[in-house]
Structure 1
Amino acid sequence: MLQISYANYEALRAHGEETYPHECCGVLLGKNEPGTGNRVQQLVRAGNTRTDSAHNRYNIAPQELVKIQRQARGLGLDIVGFYHSHPDHPAQWSPTDFAEAHWLGCSYIITSVDNGKAVLTNSFLLTGTTEEDKKFEDEAIEIEIAEAQAGK
């Protein structure tokens, strides 16, 4: 299960709306909690370096990913996943998404953005022990709404 605050959930969906009709992308920082899964504590927006087909592909520059990983360590956190949007396409991983997913144990969140509006958000856990046996498993998203209610 992926645990994420309401604010972070809404922020990643808003990111997809802002970059429409191109894919957005970013990194999920947090901790893996044994028995419960990945808990997201912070989002880091990343630049989509794909210039050839940014409407249906994304790439985070290696230098930016290293910088984000250092930032996470400085905060006592880990990279627990990634997110991106699918403009006018379902919130389902594609063969390209699978081929380019290499962080075993990480969550991969995809938000479908139809006509500029975030519609559906799904998460997939990359499981396995090697590139040869990796696979995506559907992952439930638990949205922590306590902070949303506290503001009312």
Structure 2
Amino acid sequence: MIYLSSQQLQQIHRHAEITYPEECCGLLLGNREKNYKRVIEVRETENSWTSEMNKNLSNVPSSNQQPLSKKNRFSIDPYTLLQVQKEVRDRSLMIIGIYHSHPDYPAIPSAFDQEIAWPQYSYLIASLRQGKIAEVKSWTLKEREPFAEETIKIVAKSDFLW
């Protein structure tokens, strides 16, 4: 289970709608407990996907037969990941997940999402239809298993004090 505030979810919605028809992406920062994750901050990042990356991932099938671009792929710059990891460590937080959008595609992990996923992270996917949020789902990945849907629990911001 992953806990988010309605404000955090709205931030992801806005980011996805602003970047449409391209995929947006960002980081979910917070804490991980035994049976749940708690998002403390949503950190928007730039989608750093480039056409050069297509060559490195040519064995990963495209789910909708479109040319590979920011419209159906995302990447977070490794330098950004490193900088954020250092910053949140100083705040006793960690990266607990990644979010991205699927423009005009369901909120289910693609073959590409599966290929680049890291176990133990939450993967929140915001599906858009014609530029508007249609649904949001979260997924987790365990070693050598497919993605499993994760329950999203919306809580009041004050509930994050526990």
Q: CA RMSD in A?
A: 1.2
Alignment: residue pair count: 141
Indicate the residue corresponding to 2:109 in structure 1.
93
Report how far residue 112 of structure 1 moved.
0.5
Q: What aligned pairs does 1:31-50 form with structure 2 within 5 A after superposition?
A: 31-35=31-35, 37-50=36-49
Indicate the residue corresponding to 2:64 in structure 1.
none
The 3 A distance-change label for structure 1 pair 43 and 146 is: closer
**What fraction of aligned residue pairs are identical, expressed as a percent?**
38
1:8–1:42: 8 Å Cα contact kept in structure 2?
yes
Instruction: Give me the whole-angstrom Cα distance separating, in 1, the residues matched to 2:157 and 2:97.
Output: 23
TM-score with structure 1 length normalisation?
0.88
2:138 is the alignment partner of 1:141 = no
Indicate the residue corresponding to 2:50 in structure 1.
51
Report how far residue 7 of structure 1 moved.
0.6
* Consecutive unaligned residues in structure 1, runs of 5 or more: 148-152
- After the TM superposition, which parts of structure 1 deviate over 2 Å for at least 4 consecutive aligned residues? none
Q: What aligned pairs does 1:42-121 form with structure 2 within 5 A after superposition?
A: 42-52=41-51, 53-102=69-118, 104-121=119-136
The 3 A distance-change label for structure 1 pair 25 and 146 is: closer
SS in 1 for 2:153: strand
Report how far residue 14 of structure 1 moved.
1.0
Which has more strand, going by share of residues? 1
Instruction: Give me the whole-angstrom Cα distance separating, in 2, the residues matched to 1:118 and 1:23.
Output: 12
Q: What aligned pairs does 1:2-21 form with structure 2 within 5 A after superposition?
A: 2-21=2-21
For 2:13, the aligned partner's letter is R
* Consecutive unaligned residues in structure 2, runs of 5 or more: 52-68
Give CA-to-partner distance per residue, 1:112-139, whole Å, 9 cap, x none.
01111111000001212xxxx1431110
More off after superposition, 18-27 vs 71-80: 71-80
Instruction: Give me the whole-angstrom Cα distance separating, in 1, the residues matched to 2:80 and 2:23.
Output: 17
Report how far residue 145 of structure 1 moved.
3.3
1:38–1:106: 8 Å Cα contact kept in structure 2?
no
Instruction: Give me the whole-angstrom Cα distance separating, in 2, the residues matched to 1:9 and 1:113.
Output: 14
Report how far residue 108 of structure 1 moved.
0.2
